Amino acid sequence: MSLFVIGDLHLHFQVPLKARSQLTDPAWKDHETLFRKWCSLLIHPEDTLVLLGDHSFGRKLSECEEDLRYIEALPGRKILLRGNHDMFWEVKQTEKLNRMFEGRLLFLQNNCYFYKDYALVGTKGYAFEGPFLVNHKGHIVDWDKKKQAESERLVERESQRLRQSFEAAKAHGYRKFIMFLHYPPTNILQKSSPFTWMALEYGAEQVIYAHCHGEQHFHQSLQGKKDGIEYRLVSGDHLHWKPLKILD
């Protein structure tokens, strides 16, 4: 029995045109086929696969049906987190989605799931992504302060959602946590954030995140051990579409 993770499948079986213009890096060539192959090799029916958001380019549920069917057909128990592209999934629709897909997919938002003696908690998160003003040496010298202020509001809202997930797990008696975010826990200006503070507060063992695509974005947040917590970036192109096992 194992716990696997990956993010950002960006499936587009029903909206191919838009996706073609965005996924131009060679890392995305036939990625659905490659990922499905890796899953069939590595994941067994008793395993769990957490998918960390940006599942589909569809803007409404009817445009995501084939993408969700593809995910359903993967081996193991599938738990989905919201990404910034997942327009089909409004927070208040989570219970409805869980009812609609009962026995097929699990939607993680303001709730929690369990794996052995661990609680799996999470939310989309948020990290300010600029715009930044960069000097000729490539160093950041300024940024859009208005956008930064706006991003603080989003961070606050997402922190509350994350706390709700942790508290749901605690109410079930769980004391060991794996924490999932779609966005990286910190941006390039930060060494810590409300998300890293909360991971510390509840004693999360690992913080798993995605969202960062392309070589130039892979090192913009925490990776490896910090304050006893393991931080891992698991966006699909970063993992070359091979789901990462994070617990046995």
Of these, 49, 52, 64, 83, which contacts Fe ion (CB under 5 A)? Answer: 83
Q: Which residues pair with 119 in a beta bridge?
A: 114, 177
Nearest approach, Cβ of residue 217 and Fe ion (Å): 10
Instruction: Select 84 or 160, whichever has its Cβ closest to Fe ion.
Output: 84
Instruction: Tell me the pairing of strands 77-81 and 106-108.
Output: parallel
Question: Does residue 8 interact with Fe ion by CB under 5 A?
Answer: yes
Taking residues 162 to 191 in sequence order and writing x for each that binds Fe ion by CB under 5 A, - otherwise, the string is ------------------------------
Contact between 210 and 83 (Cβ < 8 Å): yes
Tokens coding 158: 């997402």
Nearer to Fe ion, 52 or 105 (CB): 52
Q: Does 158 contact Fe ion by CB under 5 A? A: no
CA distance 148 to 210: 21
Does 78 bind Fe ion (CB under 5 A)? Our answer is: no
211 binds Fe ion (CB under 5 A): yes
209 close to 125: Cβ distance less than 8 angstroms: yes
Please identify, among the stretches 158-166, 168-176, 187-195, 204-212, the one whose residues bind Fe ion according to the rule CB under 5 A: 204-212
- Does residue 86 interact with Fe ion by CB under 5 A? no
* Binding residue count for Fe ion, defined by CB under 5 A: 5
Closer residue to Fe ion, CB minimum distance, 107 or 118: 107
Question: Please, which residue, 47 or 54, has the CB nearer to Fe ion?
Answer: 54
Name 63's Cβ contacts closer than 8 Å, sequence gap at least 6.
14, 15, 56, 57, 88
Q: Among 8-16, 39-47, 151-159, 191-199, which window interacts with Fe ion (CB under 5 A)?
A: 8-16
Label the pairing between strands 113-115 and 118-123.
Answer: antiparallel
Shortest Cβ 10–Fe ion spacing (Å): 6
Which residue has the CB atom at the shortest distance from Fe ion?
Answer: 54
| 54 lies in the binding site for Fe ion (CB under 5 A) | yes
The CA-based diameter of the chain, rounded to the nearest angstrom, is: 54
Taking CB under 5 A as the binding criterion, the range among 17-25, 50-58, 86-94, 186-194 that sits at the site for Fe ion is 50-58
Site for Fe ion, rule CB under 5 A: 8, 54, 83-84, 211
